[in-house]
Chain A
């Protein structure tokens, strides 16, 4: 089943999410990153800055987001809105064996390998071979993400972000390998992991 944008196609049962697609994209950007600047939201949601600022202001008024000195976090109401949207819009996908099988393979294979590669890169003081291993895994991730993007079209954004981070890292900017405060390969991977867990409705194994 194809999901166009954030919403399920006309073949799906009617859904009535509490928030619209743009509001979801803004709140979800914060949900995935855990604390985000408006600039980060603009980049990952691919929305105009005034639009993001307007949504943030409205959601702040509804006590869904909290401004912590220029960076935003979700309050309980904001998290509830995001998760309700995932539940309603992605209910058809949660019932698809193919998506669940995709996730299971990602979790047990690709994700395990990537986390090990990140740790190896960190503890080897930036060894080139460790970084190459990470890059190869991200390239595999982009290919497999694009398979999933036939069902969830917004996942194409992750593929583009991975390509940008890899390009920066290839030019020697090591911040784009793993630094949490820029849109690094590890940061994008983490956000996608949070996204797919919310999409299929599974808690993260802590």
Chain B
């Protein structure tokens, strides 16, 4: 097990979520995941901290979320605290210098993040006040 990425922690919790990371780019992918019956087996990866189309997944019992942008005050930060669901925001890879830049061209950064995280089994460690960690499981 090793920490592969980290970001802002939406809220401090001892709850530790484990699952396979799945990138959800649009509302249809969220609906498909819910219909598969495997929602709770996944950690949900989305691009924005204000990804409103994720709401049905949160209502249906999602276990954890990773965002590539946004702050704990963002929409998903607020919802994660209400649902008490671990959420790591504006995650970046610990072995890379690239970071999300507000208002910048982040396509390459997002692509690298999605490529590294998609399909991996991870645990979200949100026990720190400020930082959430994404731990790759063996």
**A144 contacts B by Cβ under 8 Å:** no
The residue in B52, B70, B72 that gathers the most chain A C-beta atoms within 10 A of its C-beta is: B52
A35 close to B55 (CB less than 8 A): yes
**A105 contacts B by Cβ under 8 Å:** no
A34 close to B53 (CB less than 8 A): yes
Residues 50-61 of chain B: 1 if any A CB is under 8 Å from the residue's CB, otherwise 0? 111101101110
The residue in A71, A75, A79, A206 that gathers the most chain B C-beta atoms within 10 A of its C-beta is: A206
A73 close to B56 (CB less than 8 A): yes
Tally of A-B Cβ pairs under 8 angstroms: 64
In the bound complex, residues from chain B placing their C-beta under 8 Å from that of A66 are 31
Interface pairs A-B: 5 shortest CB-CB: A206-B48, A34-B55, A35-B56, A206-B50, A119-B73
In the bound complex, residues from chain A placing their C-beta under 8 Å from that of B73 are 115-116, 119
User: Which single member of B27, B31, B50 contacts A204 (CB below 8 Å)?
Assistant: B50
Residues 71-101 of chain A: 1 if any B CB is under 8 Å from the residue's CB, otherwise 0? 1011110010000000000000000000000
Name the residue of chain B whose CB is nearest to the CB of A33: B55
In the bound complex, residues from chain B placing their C-beta under 8 Å from that of A35 are 55-56, 59-60
CA distance A194 to B35 in the complex (A): 25
User: Which single member of A75, A123, A180, A206 contacts B55 (CB below 8 Å)?
Assistant: A180
**A58 contacts B by Cβ under 8 Å:** no
**B69 contacts A by Cβ under 8 Å:** yes
CA distance A186 to B77 in the complex (A): 13
- Interface SS majority for chain B: helix
**A140 contacts B by Cβ under 8 Å:** no
Name the residue of chain B whose CB is nearest to the CB of A66: B31
Name the residue of chain A whose CB is nearest to the CB of B12: A123
In the bound complex, residues from chain B placing their C-beta under 8 Å from that of A192 are none
Interface size on A, residues (CB 8 A): 27
Chain A residues near B (Cβ < 8 Å):
33-35, 66, 68, 71, 73-76, 79, 115-116, 118-119, 122-123, 178-181, 186, 190, 194, 204-206
* Contact A119 B27, CB 8 Å, known A34-B56, A68-B56, A73-B56: no
A115 close to B78 (CB less than 8 A): yes
B52 close to A204 (CB less than 8 A): yes
* Contact A180 B47, CB 8 Å, known A66-B31, A123-B11, A194-B52: no
In the bound complex, residues from chain B placing their C-beta under 8 Å from that of A123 are 11, 81
In the bound complex, residues from chain A placing their C-beta under 8 Å from that of B72 are 119
CA distance A183 to B108 in the complex (A): 39
User: Which single member of A179, A186, A206 contacts B49 (CB below 8 Å)?
Assistant: A206
CA distance A186 to B11 in the complex (A): 18
